[in-house]
Amino acid sequence: MDFAIDVRNISKSYGDVVALGNVDLQVRSGSVMGLLGPNGAGKTTLVRILTTLLRPSSGSATVLGYDVVRHARHLRSVIGLAGQSAAVDDLLTGRENIQMAGRLYHMPRKQVQKRAQELLEQFDLVDAADRSVKGYSGGMRRRLDLAASLVANPPMIFLDEPTTGLDPRSRLDLWEVIRNLVSEGTTVLLTTQYLEEADQLADEITVIDIGKVIAQGTAADLKHQAGSEFIVITVREAEEAKRAAAVLEKFADNDECEINEEDRTASIMVQDGASIMVQVVRSLDAEGIVVANMAVRQPTLDDVFLALTGRTAEEAATESEPTEN
Ligand SMILES: Nc1ncnc2c1ncn2[C@@H]1O[C@H](COP(=O)(O)OP(=O)(O)OP(=O)(O)O)[C@@H](O)[C@H]1O
Ligand SMILES: [Mg+2]
């Protein structure tokens, strides 16, 4: 089978630090792969290897059929990369940034000008096009960086944490842009720390942790591994959380209810929260427990992580440097 990305047993070490250990990854042409993992998991390292900016210590990988080491020069000319920190030049205008990217791809001047205008329109940057990037917001910088990486119409694009640090509105805007790309047939590999983002955009998700692939599948597969959904009940008085928990436990898949007294919440893991919500509320009511708020929460990366590794993504990110194993 023909894969847009085919990674075979790639490892990368920085001195004693194993950033990637024996990673395998296949991405179908025209699909979106979400590479999901906490800080330090090795996401950027893999993106840098696949975009020829870094050589693997061992193993091999092809992108669009080109070997990332042997065909590096050619490969660079057919892919786009929007790196983790937007690589835009503050001294230039938005338009000039895109045009500069076009020249790096050796595109003819006329064609670059036309393409820049097209991208500025597509990314809603027309009004700011001829202003210096210095005054751009974070969301505008991300959009510009993405626009510049698309100047040569690459069939394959790498997005390293495209929405980290953006406000919710800008994040939604960028998701829309990425969806449009995909609908035009572009293959996308994007990294993210948010299950929700992978959920929204990716056809398939690869979860990595300390340089290792720990799970692979659709968003639904991963959520299933994390134990589906959560019902979260907020009570009026902190003292009532324990009493609520006694009621809620009976509905939980694992007969357990987690209490957070500070937030006045009690939460349980269930298969289908919406279907039993009414019963849950009735039971609480029958015990005279006043409910201030209730919600069905989808599993987060943390839940998936916890289920797969026994620790939270935050704990994983603050762990000491990874060591060889
Ligand atoms: N140039 C380097 N020298 C030494 N160690 C490095 C270097 N670059 C990355 N590392 C280490 O390799 C591991 C993987 O880093 P990487 O940047 O690939 O993670 P990441 O998943 O992109 O994290 P983040 O979400 O924070 O961007 C980390 O332990 C990191 O400290
Ligand atoms: Mg990174």
Distance CA 223, CA 199 (A): 10
pLDDT in single tens digits along all 325 residues of the chain:
679 999 999 999 999 999 999 999 999 999 999 999 989 999 999 999 999 999 999 999 999 999 999 999 999 999 999 988 878 899 999 999 999 999 988 899 999 999 999 999 988 899 999 999 999 998 899 899 999 999 999 999 999 999 888 888 888 988 998 999 899 999 999 999 888 899 899 999 999 999 999 999 998 888 877 767 899 999 998 889 999 999 999 999 889 999 998 999 999 989 888 889 999 999 999 999 999 999 998 887 778 888 888 887 778 777 744 444 4
What pLDDT does residue 298 have?
82
pTM of the model: 0.83
C-alpha 317 to ligand 1 mean position (Å): 11
Helix (H, G, I), strand (E, B) or coil at 154: coil
From 131, 137, 147, select the one nearest 93 (Cα to Cα).
Answer: 131
Binding pocket residue ranges, ligand 1, CB within 6 Å: 14, 17, 19, 37, 39-45, 84, 193, 321-322
Question: Among 14, 55, 57, 193, which is best to mutate for testing ligand 1, by the most ligand atoms less than 8 A from CB?
Answer: 14
Q: How many Å separate Cα 95 from the centre of its chain?
A: 28
C-alpha 306 to ligand 1 mean position (Å): 21
What pLDDT does residue 323 have?
45
* Structural domains of the chain sorted by starting position, each given as residue range(s) with its CATH number in brackets: 3-224 (3.40.50.300), 228-298 (3.30.70.100)
**Nearest ligand 1 atom, CA 15:** 4
What pLDDT does residue 31 have?
95
Ligand with minimal distance to 208 CA: 1
Distance CA 267, CA 264 (A): 10
* Count of CA atoms in the C-beta half-sphere (13 A) of 126: 6
DSSP code of residue 108: -
CB 148 within 8 A of CB 88: yes
CB 23 within 8 A of CB 45: no
Distance CA 180, CA 21 (A): 34
What pLDDT does residue 1 have?
60
Contacts of 215 (CB under 8 A, 6+ apart): 205, 206, 207, 221, 222, 225, 304, 308
Distance CA 102, CA 136 (A): 21
CB 293 within 8 A of CB 228: no
Question: Among 12, 35, 43, 164, which is best to mutate for testing ligand 1, by the most ligand atoms less than 8 A from CB?
Answer: 43
